[in-house]
Structure 1
Amino acid sequence: MTKKICAYEDKDGFVCNEHANESGLCFWHDPNQDKSGPEIKEKLEQYARSGGQTRGIVLKHADLSQVNLVNHHKKHGFDFSYADLYRAKLDCAHLFNIKLDHASLMKANLTAANINCASLRDCNLLGVRWHECKIENIKLGKELRQQKLAKIATQKKEFDEAFDLYEQAEEIYRDLRKHSEREGLFSLSGDLIQRELTVRRMRMPKFSFKRLGSKIVDIFCGYGEAPLRIVFISIVMIIICASIYTFTGLNYQGDIIAYSPDKPLWENVSLFLSCLYYSVVTFTTLGYGDFTPVGYSRAIAAIEAFTGSFTIALFVVVFVKKMTR
């Protein structure tokens, strides 16, 4: 009699070679098999260490308290990609370096678990209990699963679904951020607050002033988490204004100096450097008085001075906030 092989195959082409039951799937990949018993923890450990296909296994409601799924003396942890761990009890579990890409940890209990260095790319983390869970160096990827699905829903003009998915993503980021702050992982919490506020912005009306204001704050300082971005924008602002002054002209010792194609190249370059100096002085609101604006340069100087004073104050606030964590 021919041995019936499990019919499981995931999106990446991985298959399972375990013996299949009547459903065509093995015990681990069959969603109808009861895995809530107390013996499931030891069975899972043995199955994983014996080289079984752990990708895509279904462990909904499984009691895996204190389970040890650390792949000792190996570079890579066990691969549980596409696994379904809905409402699984994983309190005090040892999951160091585990791979849970595209998996579901929805409403799983990770109280006091260790998932340091775990890969959680495209994993459903909605409703996870993070209390006292170790999350150092976890890999979340650029976006959560909900964000990707929300973008697809937006393209299909299913705006209610997209709004709900963005709301779920915000909740996940908020829960993770609060937990990372409690754990003292301020670098991670800084990244998470940026992501949280970004998905919150996506829930705002598309052409509203509120959304525009949120986008501007993101561009200028990354919601208070990117002080160097302010420095870069300041440099760009100074160079742009200097270029404008070169053409609109400045007053220097009673003479109007401005770009002219009839002048030698070195003279126009010297003029630009003088305008660059004036732009720096104006942006920092020092105002030495050796150069003064004329004509359209006055409006540009006023805008630059206002922007400069605001930007410098913003940099101080953001830098102090970042460094005093």
Structure 2
Amino acid sequence: MPSITKHKCGFVGAGSRQCSQEALAHGYCFWHDPNSDKSGIDIKTPLEKYVRNGEVSQGLQLKRARLEQLDLVNRGASSGFDLRGSDLYRASLRGAHLFSIDLSNSSLMKADLSGANLHCANLKQCNLLGTKLKGTRLDNVNIGKQLLQEKRGHKLWKAGHKQEAFDNFQQAEEVYRDLHKAADSQGLFEMAGYCLHKELTMRRYQMPKPSLKRAISKGIDLFCGYGERPFNVVLFAMLFILVCAVAYFLLGITHQGQLLMFTPETLGMEDVNSALACLYFSVVTFTTLGYGDIAPVGLSRFIAAFEAFTGSFTIALFVVVFVKKMTR
């Protein structure tokens, strides 16, 4: 009787390691076959056994799988299990234990992670669109510098596909909003602030370019990072004070009846002293102290009025932003 040759799964994982499981009709094993329906059956325990036995765990095809209370914590190891490139579209992972798991380049689109533990998980370039994160533990989760949709949006924009780019930026905004809300509800205010800033940045990318609305949004980002970067306010204040000081130096101010301004004919210590006086006057004007020992003349008066108004607004904004960050 002729022997039946069994073929191995055609999936090749990290390090060119081929899956050792028996191939099904489509050339892949049950775990790597995208055509294998895993909905409606209990595969939680078999999956835990498969991964813990050291089988190739990248690229798992788990669409719509029921994986409630799944336990994939790699106890006693310095890193979690490697499930990179896996497809968990609409999978139910309610209450799953996924500490330090690597799900980079995977899809968790519309997956239910309510109450799951993703502490220290690697989610770089993971599709998180529509993922349910109610009660999900997100401490020290790594989402990378750019979401999958955000990175894709920038590439499409450079290629001239503006509408497709806008769609991806809109999806990225939604994902950042979900992460922001989830982190905020758990007291992870640093992550919540970062995601809020990225959410508003994605919203700006959807605005027509050029447009006044987009320019105003960009200005607010540079000025205070949408309320999340108080250090930006300090940098703006220092730069604005310096610019106004240069303007006073060129246009002139008076001190005890003496005009202080730039004079090319008498370059030297006199001009240095005038420049320092202008810087001092700029600081006093910006902070609205108004000692009165130095007064603006000519066009300098309009600059002083504008600087005083801007200074009072900037200081008030800094207090609000700083207190907001510190109370977190």
Q: Does TM, scored on the shorter chain, surpass 0.5?
A: yes
- Which residue in 2 is equivalent to 1:103? 106
- In the TM superposition, residue 283 of structure 1 has moved relative to its aligned partner by 0.6
- In the TM superposition, residue 13 of structure 1 has moved relative to its aligned partner by 6.1
- In the TM superposition, residue 31 of structure 1 has moved relative to its aligned partner by 0.7
TM-score (norm 2): 0.92
Between the aligned partners of 1:158 and 1:251, the Cα distance in structure 2 is 58
- Which digits, 9 at most, give the CA deviation of each residue in 1:259-318, with x for residues without a partner? 234445443332222111111001111111111122332333222222111111211222
Contact 1:7 1:15 in 2 (8 A): no
2:154 to 145, 148, 151: 151
1:87-236, aligned counterparts within 5 Å?
Answer: 87-236=90-239
Between the aligned partners of 2:253 and 2:241, the Cα distance in structure 1 is 15
The reply to whether residue 17 of structure 1 matches residue 27 of structure 2 is no
Q: Which aligned segments of 4 or more residues in structure 1 are displaced greater than 6 angstroms?
A: none
Q: In structure 1, list runs of 5 or more residues that go unmatched.
A: none
Contact 1:3 1:19 in 2 (8 A): no
Q: In structure 2, list runs of 5 or more residues that go unmatched.
A: none
Between the aligned partners of 2:40 and 2:184, the Cα distance in structure 1 is 35
Residue 251 of structure 1 aligns to a residue whose secondary structure is strand
The reply to whether residue 272 of structure 1 matches residue 275 of structure 2 is yes
Residue identity matched to 1:311: T
TM-score (norm 1): 0.93
Residue 116 of structure 1 aligns to a residue whose secondary structure is coil
- Which residue in 1 is equivalent to 2:251? 248
- In the TM superposition, residue 3 of structure 1 has moved relative to its aligned partner by 6.3
2:30 to 5, 18, 27: 27
Between the aligned partners of 1:171 and 1:302, the Cα distance in structure 2 is 42
The reply to whether residue 239 of structure 1 matches residue 254 of structure 2 is no
Distance 1:269 1:35, change over 3 A: same
Between the aligned partners of 1:232 and 1:120, the Cα distance in structure 2 is 33
RMSD of equivalent CA atoms = 2.0
Contact 2:42 2:67 in 1 (8 A): no
1:39-54, aligned counterparts within 5 Å?
Answer: 39-54=42-57
- Which digits, 9 at most, give the CA deviation of each residue in 1:208-248, with x for residues without a partner? 22111111111111111111211121011112222232232
Residue identity matched to 1:59: L
Between the aligned partners of 1:248 and 1:149, the Cα distance in structure 2 is 50
Q: Sequence identity of aligned pairs in percent?
A: 51
How many residues align? The count is 324
- In the TM superposition, residue 186 of structure 1 has moved relative to its aligned partner by 1.8
Residue identity matched to 2:323: V
Residue 61 of structure 2 aligns to a residue whose secondary structure is coil
